[in-house]
Amino acid sequence: MILSRRLRASPYEARVIEQGVKAFSLYNKMTLPLVFNDSASDYEHLCNHVQIWDVACERQVEVSGPDALRLVELITPRDISSCEIGQCMYAPLCDEHGGIINDPVILRLADDRFWLSIADSDVLLWVKGIVYGRGFNVRVFEPDVSPLAIQGPKADDLMSDVIGERARDIRFFRFINVEIAGTDVVLARSGWSGQGGFEVYLQDHRKGLDLWDTFWSAGQKYNVRSGGPNVIDRLEKGLKSYGSDMTIDSNPFESGLESFISLNKEAECMSIEALKKVEKSGPEKRLVNLVVDGAALNSPRSEWRVQDANGQVTGIVTSLAWSPSMNANLAFAIINSASADRGTVLSVDTDNDVRKAVVHDSDWKLY
C-alpha cells in the first residue's frame, strides 16, 4: 500500500513501520495495520501475551450540547438514557429504513457529551446532515482523538505497571480519565479482540509516539508485540465487522444484534417503526456461523456462494478463517432465513471446489 498524503497519517505510524507491518487495510480513510508476521502466528501471540494495536482509524464523532442525548437517541434503536457517565455502550446506528449505518461503541463523557467510536463509514457527515435538517442545538465534529489498543491476557499486568493497580478495577465497557506519558487520555476496558484489554483514547496526536513508547518499554517483560485486529480471533469470538458482515442493506435482526436494540424505548428514534415491521414479519436473511469442511481456506475476496440441499443459492460467505484451536474453517455467512436453523447442512462454492458447510450456534456448540 502506498502511504500517500491522501491518506491521513496515524500518530503511531512510525512505530508500526519500524515493527515491520506486512499488511494494512483501509479504514475511515486511514490505514489499519493487520499483519506483522502472519495471521496464525499473530493470533497465537495475541492469545498468550499482549499486543499494542494502532487503531487510530477508529475515529470519534463527538456530539455535545443541550440536545446531545436527543440526537444520539434518534440515530440508534438502543436505549441510551440509562448510559452513565464513564460507561460505553455498543449501539448500532440505523437509518429510517432500519439499515445499519455503523455499529460504534458510544462513550458518555458528560450528561451532554458523547463520543461515537465508529467503524468504517461516514457517520460524521450523516449525523451533521440530521442536525442541520432537524435543527438540533448541538455541536457535531471529529475531535483530536486517536485510540491505541492494548490487547491480550497480559494486558492487565501491563496496564497496572503503567498506571497502577487501579487498572484492574476498571469494569468492562467502563472508562476513566488518566494521564499517561504526560498527556491526558480516556482509558476504557474494551477493544476488538476476544482476549480482553484496553483502549487508550489519546487526545493530542503530537503525543502518539510517547504513548506508544511508554507501553512498549513497560511491555518488554510481557513479550509485547505489535498487532492488529485478527480475523481468526474475531471469528472464534463472534465479533462482526461492519462493511464485511453487515452493511446499510442489513438490519439488526438480520445481523444478530437484537439484544442491542429497544423497540419500546421512550425517546424518539428514526428507525423504530421500520424495525418493528421487521420484528413482526421476521427477517428475510440471517447472519449465521458456518463450519466449512476440508483443508484450510483463505478469506474470500470474491463472493463465495452458499447453496442449500437443492443446490439453490441461499446466500454468501462474508468472512472466513482457519481456526488452529478448532482445526476447522470458521465463517460468517448471510443466508435466507429458511436455511439458517442450527444444524442445517449447506454447501459453499469456494471457486475451486464445493465444500460441505453446517450452521452452528454463535458459540460454535455444534463443533
Domain membership flag for residue 139: no
State whether 228 and 292 are in the same domain. no
- Regarding predicted confidence, which is higher, 4 or 242? 242
pLDDT at 5: 86
Q: Is the pLDDT of residue 367 over 90?
A: no
Domain membership flag for residue 151: yes
pLDDT at 92: 98
State whether 340 and 215 are in the same domain. no
Neighbours of 338 (CB within 10 A): 12
Average pLDDT over every residue of 225-243: 97
pTM value is 0.96
Instruction: List CB contacts of 321: < 8 A, sequence separation 6 or more.
Output: 39, 231, 232, 235, 299, 329, 330, 331
Q: Is the pLDDT of residue 352 over 90?
A: no
pLDDT at 21: 97
Nearest Cα to Cα of residue 218 among 145, 164, 171: 164
Write down the mean pLDDT value for the chain.
97
State whether 165 and 302 are in the same domain. no
Q: Could you tell me where the beta strands, DSSP code E, fall in 96-182?
A: 100-102, 105-110, 113-117, 139-141, 146-151, 175-180
Q: Is the pLDDT of residue 258 over 90?
A: yes
Neighbours of 67 (CB within 10 A): 17
Domain membership flag for residue 333: yes
Q: Is the pLDDT of residue 265 over 90?
A: yes
Domain membership flag for residue 303: yes
Residue-number span of the structural domain to which 326 is assigned:
285-367
State whether 175 and 304 are in the same domain. no
State whether 222 and 294 are in the same domain. no
pLDDT at 330: 97
User: What are the backbone angles phi and psi of residue 336, rounded to the nearest 5°?
Assistant: -60, 140
pLDDT at 365: 85
Instruction: List CB contacts of 25: < 8 A, sequence separation 6 or more.
Output: 31, 32, 34
pLDDT at 362: 85
Q: How many domains does the chain have?
A: 2
pLDDT at 301: 87
pLDDT at 351: 84
Q: How far apart are CA 242 and CA 161, in angstroms?
A: 34
Domain membership flag for residue 310: yes
Q: How far apart are CA 99 and CA 90, in angstroms?
A: 16
pLDDT at 3: 86
Domain membership flag for residue 107: no
Query: Among the three residues 177, 201, 235, which one is the final residue of a domain in this structure?
Result: 235
Q: What is the pLDDT of residues 218-227, one digit of tens each?
A: 999 999 999 9
Of the chain, the percentage scoring pLDDT greater than 90 comes to: 95
Output the CA angle 13-151-360, nearest 5 degrees.
115
Q: What is the CATH number of the domain that holds 318?
A: 2.40.30.110
Q: How far apart are CA 359 and CA 340, in angstroms?
A: 7
State whether 297 and 359 are in the same domain. yes
Q: Is the pLDDT of residue 229 over 90?
A: yes
Q: What is the CATH number of the domain that holds 207?
A: 3.30.1360.120
State whether 42 and 162 are in the same domain. yes
State whether 311 and 192 are in the same domain. no
State whether 167 and 41 are in the same domain. yes
* DSSP type of residue 203: S
State whether 25 and 157 are in the same domain. yes
Q: What is the pLDDT of residues 176-218, one digit of tens each?
A: 999 999 999 999 999 999 999 999 999 999 999 999 999 999 9
State whether 198 and 338 are in the same domain. no
Domain membership flag for residue 257: no
State whether 214 and 311 are in the same domain. no
Q: What is the pLDDT of residues 276-308, one digit of tens each?
A: 999 999 999 999 999 999 999 988 888 999 999
Domain membership flag for residue 215: yes
Query: Among the three residues 196, 212, 235, which one is the final residue of a domain in this structure?
Result: 235
Q: What is the pLDDT of residues 74-126, one digit of tens each?
A: 999 999 999 999 999 999 999 999 999 999 999 999 999 999 999 999 999 99
